[in-house]
């Protein structure tokens, strides 16, 4: 890789200026990044295919180590024996063939997961969470925590079972070890009652956005401690004022601070196995602040994970 620089617009954009590693290559890392530029499963405004590259670029504003005004340091690349980050590039996707795409996503996610402490998956639309979760079929008692305006637990929508409305329904069918989903940030006018009922029948926790503020600790504590958590962050969980670059924005979502408060709580009480960040559409926000916020969210989350040390 070329010599690192501090100017975010300079240099070949790997995530946080990490070295590149093939998904099946000979490397180890604390954190590894895998892009999934797949957005043909959404039903409104496309553009999530551009997110992995936009997140790589935005990450260059947030290259570790970090420190606060008192000199405390986080995510120090010099602190571990493995590299802190490896950028595993993007899954090599086919055009148009959704089933083949899902297979390749699962395969690449498995490879990356095997090489790091915690993989960070950069979508793509939310449909990719299903094939990503399949790479975690071997985790006993897998929990999903999902920040999202929408439940994404619909059985069939627009004649398909694999759109970005259905990833967690499919995952629950395919993964017996996926024992519980907590969805936080729900809002909007068009909930799918069958999906909500099916989720509740499985014991899932559904939390409306209006019930989050002031109740973060209670929400975090509702999961038994030290669970294995796959954290799925939909960009539309955020308020469109702070993150306008997403296909299906809904008013009155998370602020950055509230999302971090929630994530911080999760990280401290549970074991985060993997993170996906989906539905970011950089082409819909010409101010660039959407990907900057998402990149910072990933970095600050990983700082907390690193700090928590479990």
Q: Does 67 bind a copy of itself (CB under 8 A)?
A: yes
Taking the least distance from each CB to a copy of itself, the nearer of 77 and 98 is 98
Which of the ranges 5-13, 113-121, 136-144, 262-270 carries the binding residues for a copy of itself, by CB under 8 A?
A: 5-13
Rounded CA separation 223/266 (Å): 9
Q: What's 148's DSSP letter?
A: -
Q: Does 175 bind a copy of itself (CB under 8 A)?
A: no
Q: Exactly one of 78, 92, 140, 201 binds a copy of itself (CB under 8 A); which one?
A: 92
Rounded CA separation 230/273 (Å): 5
Strands 142-147 and 271-278: unpaired
Beta strands in 196-297 (DSSP E): 205-208, 228-234, 271-278
Q: Does 98 bind a copy of itself (CB under 8 A)?
A: yes
Smallest distance, Å, CB 81 to a copy of itself? 24
Which of the ranges 67-75, 115-123, 130-138, 225-233 carries the binding residues for a copy of itself, by CB under 8 A?
A: 67-75
Tell me the number of residues near a copy of itself by CB under 8 A: 102
Q: Does 83 bind a copy of itself (CB under 8 A)?
A: no
Which residue from 78, 49, 57 is spatially nearest to 13, judged by alpha carbons? 57
Structure tokens at 186: 């729900």
Taking the least distance from each CB to a copy of itself, the nearer of 206 and 305 is 206
Smallest distance, Å, CB 134 to a copy of itself? 18
Smallest distance, Å, CB 141 to a copy of itself? 25
* Consecutive H or E run containing 268: helix 256-269
Rounded CA separation 9/16 (Å): 12
List b or e across 79-115, with b for residues whose CB sees 16 or more CB atoms inside 10 angstroms.
eeeebbbbbbbbbebeeeebeebbebbbbbbbbbbeb
Smallest distance, Å, CB 117 to a copy of itself? 20
Q: Cα 47–264–28 angle (5° rounding)? A: 70
Taking the least distance from each CB to a copy of itself, the nearer of 62 and 139 is 62
210-269: contacts with a copy of itself (CB under 8 A): 210, 239-242, 244-245, 248-252, 255-257
Which residue from 293, 269, 302 is spatially nearest to 55, judged by alpha carbons? 293
104-143: contacts with a copy of itself (CB under 8 A): 127
Smallest distance, Å, CB 240 to a copy of itself? 5
10-29: contacts with a copy of itself (CB under 8 A): 10-14, 20, 22-23
33-62: contacts with a copy of itself (CB under 8 A): 35, 37, 39-47, 49-50, 52-53, 56-57, 61-62
Rounded CA separation 239/227 (Å): 28
Q: Exactly one of 178, 181, 186, 219 binds a copy of itself (CB under 8 A); which one?
A: 186
Q: Exactly one of 85, 121, 130, 162 binds a copy of itself (CB under 8 A); which one?
A: 162
Rounded CA separation 238/254 (Å): 4
Q: What does residue 304 show for φ and ψ, rounded to 5 degrees?
A: -65, -40
Task: Give 218's strand partners.
Answer: none
Smallest distance, Å, CB 295 to a copy of itself? 10
């Amino acid at each position: 890789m070329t010599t690192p620089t501090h100017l975010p617009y300079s240099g070949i954009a790997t995530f946080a200026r990490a070295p590149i590693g093939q998904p099946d290559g000979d490397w180890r890392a604390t954190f590894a990044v895998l892009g999934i530029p797949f957005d043909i499963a959404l039903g409104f405004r496309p553009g999530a295919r551009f997110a992995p590259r936009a997140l790589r670029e935005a990450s260059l504003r947030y290259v570790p180590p970090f420190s606060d005004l008192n000199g405390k340091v986080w995510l120090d690349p010099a602190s571990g024996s493995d590299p802190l980050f490896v950028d595993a590039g993007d899954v090599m996707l086919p055009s148009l063939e959704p089933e083949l795409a899902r297979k390749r996503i699962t395969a690449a996610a498995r490879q990356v997961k095997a090489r790091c402490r915690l993989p960070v998956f950069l979508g793509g639309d939310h449909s990719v969470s299903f094939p990503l979760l399949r790479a975690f079929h071997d985790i006993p008692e897998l929990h999903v925590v999902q920040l999202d305006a929408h439940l994404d637990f619909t059985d069939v929508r627009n004649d398909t079972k694999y759109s970005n409305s259905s990833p967690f329904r499919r995952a629950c069918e395919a993964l017996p070890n996926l024992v519980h989903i907590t969805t936080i940030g729900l809002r909007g006018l068009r909930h799918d009652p069958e999906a909500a009922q099916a989720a509740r029948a499985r014991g899932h926790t559904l939390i409306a956005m209006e019930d989050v503020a002031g109740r973060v600790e209670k929400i975090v504590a509702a999961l038994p401690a030290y669970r294995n958590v796959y954290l799925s962050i939909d960009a539309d969980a955020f308020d469109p004022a702070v993150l306008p670059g997403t296909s299906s924005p809904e008013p009155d979502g998370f602020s950055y601070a509230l999302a971090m408060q929630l994530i911080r709580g999760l990280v401290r009480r549970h074991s985060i196995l993997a993170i996906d960040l989906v539905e970011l559409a950089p082409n819909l926000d010409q101010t660039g602040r959407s990907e900057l916020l998402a990149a910072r969210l990933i970095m600050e989350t990983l700082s907390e994970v690193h700090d928590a040390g479990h």
